[in-house]
Amino acid sequence: MSTVLGIPVPVILGQLTLGLVNGSFYALLSLGLAVIFGLMGVVNFAHGAFYTLGAFAALLGLQYLGINYWLALLIAPLAVGLLGVLVERLLLRHLYGLDPLYGLLLTFGLALIVEGSLHQVFGASGQSYPVPEALAGAVNLHFMFLPLYRAWVILASVVVCFSTWFVIERTRLGATLRAATENAPLLQAFGVNVPLLVALTYGGGVALAALAGVLASPVVLVNSHMGNELVIVVFAVVVIGGMGSILGSIVSGLVLGLIEGLTKVVYPEASNIVVFVIMALVLILRPAGLFGRE
């Protein structure tokens, strides 16, 4: 068996694949953050909470309404996205034109409300979501048996990420969105309903987080704090990539997942902190972030 630095290659490839699964979640979440930030200038601290809500929606939908996985993949993001639209219309709307720090603080409060309530109602221990039957087995990649479900997670999030990129960069709707980012009052003067656009963008970004939550529910324990831990890493990913670019946030999410997986092989104790260390290095060498412009 071949080895690199004394570590069997299959082990390395295995951890890299698992890292790619985590990276898919980072990419989906940082993409939503970047879209929301690009248009609204709001750093959505509640992003992790919406991810958690997505997972809970899938779990409760299955337990109480018998909604299966594939339907949940559609319904949970829709429901959470709708909630996002409400949040934007009722709360965030009042903060436009103020220091962006207030948006961060408001959404931090929202995250506390969601997490605190879920914790109180469903307890601290997690529940697991059954892997859907069609994705139960594993594929033999010769260096490892990759559970089919994890392969599906990588595939689904890469497809969703790049479709989102395509919509924003290559379609008429995306062009309108980008115009709103550049100069919202002017766009409104052309007759575009900008407030609606903003509400839908927030809903859309949040729905991406919920989708990530549904995708994650069979591979992680569904509990109230699953999103909080993730969102801090995603913030670091965003600092590394720079929030200006959609493609940048996707790529840095995936790459950092890979690096994290690699760290698990080389020096497992550091796997929790490697993303933060890389963030510190990037800040020293290239303060605006790898893909950022300032």
Confirm or reject binding of residue 112 to other proteins (CB under 8 A).
Answer: yes
CB of 209 to other proteins, least distance (A): 16
* Shortest separation between residue 200's beta carbon and other proteins, angstroms: 22
| Interface stretch with other proteins, choices 60-68, 106-114, 128-136, 259-267 (CB under 8 A) | 106-114
Can you tell me which of 36, 160, 236, 246 binds other proteins, judged by CB under 8 A? 236
51 contacts 229 by C-beta, under 8 angstroms: no
Measured in residues, the chain has a length of 294
Give the one residue of 11, 104, 138, 158 binding other proteins; rule: CB under 8 A.
Answer: 104
Q: Return the number of the residue (58 or 111) whose C-beta is nearest other proteins.
A: 111
Name which of 117 and 128 has its Cβ closer to other proteins: 117
80: nearest Cα among 185, 175, 202: 202
Note the Cα 204 to chain centre separation in Å: 12
Q: Which of residues 10-69 bind other proteins (CB under 8 A)?
A: 43
Interface positions, 243-272, toward other proteins (CB under 8 A): 269, 272
CA dihedral 16, 5, 263, 257 (to 10 degrees): -30
* Residue closer to other proteins, measured from CB, 39 or 187: 39
Q: Report d(CA 258, CA 21) in Å as an integer.
A: 9
User: Per DSSP, which regions of the chain are E strands?
Assistant: 3-4, 7-8, 138-140, 145-147
User: Considering beta carbons, is residue 5 or 121 the nearer one to other proteins?
Assistant: 121
Least distance between other proteins and beta carbon 291 (Å)? 14
Reading the block at residue 176, the tokens are 């309108």
Max alpha carbon distance in the chain (Å)? 67
CA distance 291 to 34: 12
Between CA 51 and CA 208 the distance in angstroms is 8
Please select the residue that binds other proteins; options are 66, 142, 190, 284, rule is CB under 8 A.
Answer: 284
222 near other proteins (CB under 8 A): no
Q: Is 109 in the site for other proteins (CB under 8 A)?
A: yes
Where on the phi/psi map is residue 265: left (φ > 0), alpha (ψ -120 to 50), or beta? alpha
| CB of residue 47 to other proteins, shortest distance in Å | 12
Nearer to other proteins, 139 or 277 (CB): 277
Residues 172-211 that bind other proteins (CB under 8 A): none
Rounded to an integer, what is the distance from CA 114 to the centroid of its chain? 17
> What are the beta bridge partners of residue 140?
145
Where along the sequence are the contacts to other proteins (CB under 8 A)? 43, 91, 94-95, 98-102, 104-106, 108-117, 119-120, 228, 232-233, 235-236, 238-239, 269, 272-273, 275-277, 279-280, 283-284, 287
